[in-house]
């Protein structure tokens, strides 16, 4: 998929063929940088890059650009998430240049959850851009060296451009087409929503491969542990875009309550083992809200430390058991 051109360590890992691991650092409700460093230290030992979320779920936390400033200062590899919900194109372009000046090399372009999903629904949404127009804007800054206004830049940012994908919500046939549109807009890697429905993911990837999209961008599958059956029920009813099949809820409910956290961890590890064998998958993106130590345990117990090269993983495709 081309040569490395941004200085991103994540880009180097993916282009080399290594199975990449990223994880989310959930920003603190605090102005103390130490809370960021403590969480980042755990993740940096097991991940190739750390996502700094941008008011995910429309809830206020330390800003993504602020977290990235701290991460780059400490020598970590951040993925800066940018949501279009809260800022117009003027503010966003300024943030992109500022992030690049701090050493941010990875960008995840998001439309953003609606304000009604968060704890301040009276906030006024912006949505001047969406994820696709944001990708085009970031690519314009990088490749053409000018703002949306046409005014030239004195120097250009170097971004490895990413976007989100959600294969698990209808219309299912549209999801690979949406992926293609984002690739056309500039996306070079994707991080998906939580994968709890492996069959649906296999169906998505079957179409992705038939369209040749897996050869045009890197796909990192979102995974994460569930604390309990109750937590899983809450997530699928309250968190936008999260789909958790009934069979997962039943599996968690089938063990004693004090064992459900461990069972949720097992489910996550099993999902990593399955998706890493799917052709076209280039890595995993591990999400566990304020459970950084658990993320490290999952990555280690999944056999992802030390990293194994894709060529060593064999050619079996677990989707074949579903005949898709």
Whether 209 is covered by a domain: the verdict is: yes
Q: What's the domain range around 116?
A: 17-310
Give the up-direction half-sphere exposure of residue 279: CA atoms within 13 A in the CB hemisphere. 16
Residue with tokens 């993320």: 295
Whether 241 is covered by a domain: the verdict is: yes
Whether 257 is covered by a domain: the verdict is: yes
Task: Read off φ and ψ for residue 22, nearest 5 degrees.
Answer: -125, 165
Contact 8, 106 (CB under 8 A): yes
In this structure, what DSSP letter does residue 321 have?
A: G
Q: What CATH number is given to the structural domain containing 228?
A: 3.20.20.220
In this structure, what DSSP letter does residue 105 have?
A: -
Whether 255 is covered by a domain: the verdict is: yes
- Digit-by-digit pLDDT tens for the chain (324 residues) are 666 578 899 999 999 999 999 999 989 999 999 999 999 999 999 999 999 999 988 899 999 999 999 999 999 999 999 999 999 999 999 999 999 999 999 999 999 999 998 899 999 999 999 999 999 999 999 999 999 999 999 999 999 999 999 999 999 999 999 999 999 999 999 999 999 999 999 999 999 999 999 999 999 999 999 999 999 999 999 888 999 999 999 999 999 999 999 999 999 999 999 999 999 999 999 999 778 889 999 999 999 986 433 333 344 455 655 455
Whether 80 is covered by a domain: the verdict is: yes
Contact 70, 42 (CB under 8 A): no
Measure the CA–CA gap between 273 and 195, rounded to whole angstroms: 12
Cβ atoms < 10 Å from Cβ of 133? 16
Whether 316 is covered by a domain: the verdict is: no
Number of domains making up the chain: 1
Whether 119 is covered by a domain: the verdict is: yes
Residue 46's nearest CA partner among 283, 275, 240 is 283
pTM to 2 decimal places = 0.92
Whether 258 is covered by a domain: the verdict is: yes
Cβ atoms < 10 Å from Cβ of 324? 12
């Amino acid at each position: 998929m081309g040569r490395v051109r941004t200085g991103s360590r994540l880009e180097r890992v993916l282009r080399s063929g290594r199975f990449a691991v990223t994880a989310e650092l959930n920003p603190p409700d605090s102005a103390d940088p130490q809370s960021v460093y403590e969480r980042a230290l755990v993740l940096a030992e097991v991940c190739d890059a750390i996502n700094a979320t941008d008011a995910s779920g429309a809830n206020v936390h330390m800003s993504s650009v602020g977290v990235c400033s701290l991460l780059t200062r400490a020598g970590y590899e951040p993925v800066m998430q940018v949501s279009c919900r809260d800022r117009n194109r003027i503010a966003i372009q300024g943030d992109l240049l500022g992030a690049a000046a701090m050493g941010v090399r990875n960008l995840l372009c998001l439309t953003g959850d609606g304000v009604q999903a968060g704890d301040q629904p009276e906030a006024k949404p912006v949505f001047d851009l969406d994820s696709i127009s944001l990708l085009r804007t970031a690519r314009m800054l990088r490749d053409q060296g000018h703002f949306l206004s046409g005014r030239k830049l004195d120097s250009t940012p170097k971004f490895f451009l990413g976007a989100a994908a959600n294969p698990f919500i209808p219309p299912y046939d549209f999801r690979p087409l949406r992926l293609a549109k984002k690739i056309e807009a500039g996306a070079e890697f994707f991080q998906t929503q939580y994968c709890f429905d492996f069959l649906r993911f296999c169906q998505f990837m079957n179409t992705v491969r038939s369209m040749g999209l897996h050869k045009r961008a890197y796909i990192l599958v979102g995974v994460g542990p569930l604390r309990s059956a109750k937590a899983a029920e809450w997530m699928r009813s309250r968190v936008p875009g999260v789909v958790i099949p009934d069979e997962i809820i039943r599996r968690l409910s089938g063990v004693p309550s004090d064992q459900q956290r461990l069972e949720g961890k097992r489910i996550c590890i099993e999902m990593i083992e399955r998706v890493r064998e799917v052709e076209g998958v280039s890595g995993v993106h591990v999400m566990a809200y304020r459970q950084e130590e658990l993320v490290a345990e999952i990555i280690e117990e999944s056999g992802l430390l030390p990293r194994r090269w894709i060529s060593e993983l064999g050619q079996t495709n677990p989707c074949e058991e579903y005949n898709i």
